[in-house]
Amino acid sequence: MAQCPTIDAYIVALPEAVRDVASSVRETIKKAAPGALEAMKYGMPVFQKAGASFIYFAVWKKHVGLYPIYRGTDDFEEAIGPYRVKKDTVQFPLDKPLPNELIARIVHSQLARLRSDNANNDA
């Protein structure tokens, strides 16, 4: 896919069959992270708070990927376990319903990590 300047352009450039999935991921992230800024980096939609990127997503041929999803509590890891494919990646198959509640939980975890990182940098 060619580089897109905005998330809107990214979604429009996707195959029609997956545009709703991309829009749903976007809206879930926006709802879970009010006030987050949207941008494009590395050819992917990214959401930022306090000047830092906290979650990217991309729609591929067979899945939606979220990046970078760092390790969390045992409970968090159990919830995302079926979707974790690498140490910092989760993938949701396109042939299954999108787990929007889990995506929101991932966003909340990412934001908590960002707040913790910022607090540690301020100390």
Instruction: Report whether 78 contacts 52 (CB < 8 A).
Output: no
Give me the half-sphere count of Cα atoms (radius 13 Å) on the Cβ side of residue 30. 11
How large is the greatest C-alpha to C-alpha distance in the chain, in angstroms? 48
Model confidence over 56-111: pLDDT tens digits? 999 999 999 999 998 888 999 999 999 999 889 999 999 999 999 999 999 999 99
> Tell me, what's the pLDDT at 101?
96
pLDDT tens digits, residue range 7-54? Answer: 999 999 999 999 999 999 999 999 999 999 999 999 999 999 988 999
Strands, sheet with 52-59, edge to edge from the N-terminal-most edge strand: 37-41, 44-49, 52-59, 63-67, 89-93, 84-86
Q: Which two tokens mark 39? A: 């941008």
pLDDT of residue 114: 82
**Between 30 and 118, whose confidence is greater?**
30
* Residues 84-103 as b or e (16 or more Cβ within 10 Å = b): eeeeeebbbeeeeebbbebb
- For residue 1, what pLDDT is reported? 54
Record the pTM: 0.90
pLDDT of residue 19: 96
